[in-house]
């Protein structure tokens, strides 16, 4: 019997191709210890799907495995009409904890925290506290290594680590050994901001407090690794010009995969149609000087590329909290300088290219000097403008109340393409007036 049993490794191998029912069946047929850790290792979306695929009578055991913060997330992922029945499967104290957590959005501190932390009173002696934590060690606390000293109203007075306790004299009061300058976060703070606070101060755990200063739970650093990882994934996918996938790439179905990409791709396409209108506006110029058309892709892509660099830098700096909206003016100055420098570099390369090609192939006709000047001058303008627009777009988008990461590289490129054409043909009109135009 035990020999032909599925192992967790085997189940993991074929997981991607199984239906929800087959997944539920697979989990239930693992050896018990393996089954529990396999189930707990799944993403919340998958835990919810597996639970839904099980017979109602079998769900209780698995619901009770979940820590309260995970149970709250899973319950919020199932259809409304099933939530109450899942909640009822929990034991009474857990149910109250989970119900309290469900009041928070999943992506704020309150939705991330565990309500199971160790509470101590300030007048407790060190020895007493150690014995108390020792007895609590078998309880379902998130950690016993950090304990929080609270007053009668659950307000946070201080924190002690287990390490502090076992190195202190056992007859001292906690109020004498606790650290009072506790860094805490409000329960409504965005989880990425919580991650920044934890990373900045190298904390292992951070208490979460409500508006009245009462402690509601703690967030531990291991929860933060997932937050940081998935926040980066979301930003990267948005920067690539699509909606964030929510599920791992290989586990995302084809319909969802196309849907997440088609929206932005179509929007960018509609935006980019303005280039056809802009080009139409300069149709006569192109007809008279076809040589102008040759450089169109080169010119507009340079604007797009420099804009992509700038927008990527600013969005990441914003996500890391290195840059805030009040820095916009110093960024304008920095990026204008950078953009002009980069524009001059590309203009020089472009100039050399045209002169060399002309010398060898005589490609660009008798007015090649004016053509070269047009290309070079446009490049300086377009790269500087692309850089500046790329740097400012995240600020504009944040000001409008959206996620700055939506200022994707393709979005900036589209924006700069249209204005790049206008710059290019206007420069051409000035320089080529009387010769080619």
Residues 258-287 that bind its own copies (CB under 8 A): 258, 261-262, 264-266, 268-270, 272-273, 275-276, 279-280, 283, 286-287
Instruction: For the CB of residue 196, give the shortest distance to its own copies in the complex, in Å.
Output: 9
Least distance from C-beta 215 to its own copies, angstroms?
21
d(CA 2, CA 7): 10
| Alpha-carbon dihedral 291, 293, 297, 300, rounded to 10 degrees | 100
Q: Cβ of residue 141: shortest distance to its own copies, in angstroms? A: 9
Q: Which of residues 26-55 bind its own copies (CB under 8 A)?
A: 41
Among 110, 304, 381, 394, binds its own copies (CB under 8 A): 304
Among 89, 144, 173, 332, binds its own copies (CB under 8 A): 144
Query: Does residue number 85 form part of the binding site for its own copies (CB under 8 A)?
Result: no
The residues in 197-216 that bind its own copies, with binding defined as CB under 8 A, are: 198-204
Phi/psi region, residue 87 (left: phi>0; alpha: psi -120 to 50; beta: rest), is alpha
Smallest separation, CB 73 to its own copies (Å): 15
- Which residue from 254, 326, 329, 401 is in contact with its own copies, where contact means CB under 8 A? 254
Considering only residues 320-359, where is the footprint of its own copies by CB under 8 A? 320, 322-323, 327, 330, 334, 337-338, 341-342, 345-346, 349-350, 353
CB 98 within 8 A of CB 71: yes
**369 lies in the binding site for its own copies (CB under 8 A):** no
Nearer to its own copies, 52 or 371 (CB): 371
Q: Could you tell me the sign of the dihedral formed by the alpha carbons of 317, 321, 323, 325, in that order?
A: positive
| Per CB under 8 A, 183 contacts its own copies | no
Helix-strand-coil split of the chain, %, nearest 5: 70, 10, 25
User: Using the rule CB under 8 A, which residue among 14, 105, 183, 236 binds its own copies?
Assistant: 236
Angle, CA of 425, 427 and 433, to the nearest 5°: 90
Our finding on whether 426 is near its own copies (CB under 8 A) is no
How near is the Cβ of 251 to its own copies at its closest, in Å?
8
Binding its own copies by CB under 8 A: which of 19, 85, 167, 429? 167
User: In what side-by-side order are the strands of the sheet with 156-161?
Assistant: 118-120, 146-150, 156-161
Please give the structure tokens belonging to residue 340: 């002009």
Task: Based on the shown chain and the rule CB under 8 A, indicate whether residue 118 belongs to the binding site for its own copies.
Answer: no
∠ CA 288-291-295, nearest 5°, is: 130
- Cβ atoms of residues 428 and 286 within 8 Å: no
Neighbours of 273 (CB within 10 A): 12
Q: Count of CB atoms within 10 A of residue 79's CB?
A: 8
Q: Is 377 in the site for its own copies (CB under 8 A)?
A: no
Which one of 81-89, 90-98, 110-118, 224-232 is the stretch in contact with its own copies (CB under 8 A)?
A: 224-232
Q: Cα separation of 169 and 430, whole Å?
A: 84
Say whether residue 12 binds its own copies (CB under 8 A).
no
For the CB of residue 13, give the shortest distance to its own copies in the complex, in Å: 13
Q: Which residues contact 231 (CB under 8 A, 6 or more apart)?
A: 191, 192, 195, 319
Q: Does 394 bind its own copies (CB under 8 A)?
A: no
Q: Which residues pair with 158 in a beta bridge?
A: 149
User: Which of 24-32, 57-65, 75-83, 292-300 is the region at the interface with its own copies (rule: CB under 8 A)?
Assistant: 292-300
Q: Are 196 and 144 in contact (CB under 8 A)?
A: no
CA gap 160, 153 in Å, rounded:
19
Residue selected from 294, 325, 396, 422 as contacting its own copies according to rule CB under 8 A: 294
The yes or no reply on residue 406 touching its own copies (CB under 8 A) is no
């Amino acid at each position: 019997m035990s020999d032909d049993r599925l192992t967790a490794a085997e189940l993991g191998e074929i997981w991607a191709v199984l239906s929800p029912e087959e997944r539920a069946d697979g989990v239930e047929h693992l050896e018990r210890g393996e089954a529990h850790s396999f189930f707990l290792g799944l993403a919340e979306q998958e835990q919810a799907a597996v639970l839904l695929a099980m017979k109602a009578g079998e769900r209780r055991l698995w619901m009770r495995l979940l820590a309260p913060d995970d149970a709250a997330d899973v319950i919020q992922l199932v259809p409304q009409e099933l939530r109450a029945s899942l909640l009822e499967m929990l034991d009474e104290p857990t149910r109250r904890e989970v119900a309290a957590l469900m009041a928070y959005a999943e992506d704020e501190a309150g939705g991330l925290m565990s309500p199971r932390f160790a509470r101590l009173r300030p007048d407790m002696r060190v020895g007493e506290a150690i014995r108390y934590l020792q007895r609590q060690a078998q309880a379902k606390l998130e950690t016993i290594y950090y304990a929080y000293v609270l007053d009668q109203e659950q307000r946070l007075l201080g924190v002690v680590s287990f390490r502090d306790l076992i190195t202190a004299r056992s007859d001292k009061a906690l109020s004498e050994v606790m650290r009072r300058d506790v860094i805490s976060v409000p329960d409504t703070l965005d989880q990425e901001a919580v991650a920044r606070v934890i990373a900045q101060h190298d904390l292992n755990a951070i208490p979460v407090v409500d508006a009245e200063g009462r402690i509601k739970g703690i967030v531990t650093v291991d929860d933060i690794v997932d937050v940081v990882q998935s926040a980066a994934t979301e930003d990267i996918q948005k920067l690539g010009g699509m909606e964030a996938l929510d599920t791992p790439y290989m586990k995302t179905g084809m319909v969802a995969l196309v849907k997440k990409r088609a929206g932005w791709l179509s929007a960018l396409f509609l935006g980019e149609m303005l280039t056809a209108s802009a080009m139409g506006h300069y149709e006569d110029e192109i007809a008279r000087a076809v040589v102008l058309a040759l450089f169109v892709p080169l010119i507009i892509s340079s604007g797009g590329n420099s804009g992509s660099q700038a927008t990527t830098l600013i969005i990441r700096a914003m996500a890391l909290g290195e840059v805030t909206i009040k820095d916009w003016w110093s960024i304008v100055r920095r990026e204008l300088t950078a953009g002009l420098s980069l524009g001059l570099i590309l203009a020089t390369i472009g100039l050399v290219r045209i002169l060399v090609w002309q010398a060898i192939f005589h490609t660009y006709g008798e007015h090649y000097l004016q053509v070269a000047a047009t290309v070079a001058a446009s490049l300086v303008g377009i790269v500087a403008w692309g850089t500046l627009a790329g740097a400012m777009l995240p600020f504009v988008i944040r000001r409008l109340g959206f996620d700055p990461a939506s200022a994707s590289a393709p979005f900036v490129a589209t924006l700069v393409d249209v204005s790049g054409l206008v710059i290019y043909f206007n420069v051409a009109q000035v320089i080529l007036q009387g010769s080619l135009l």
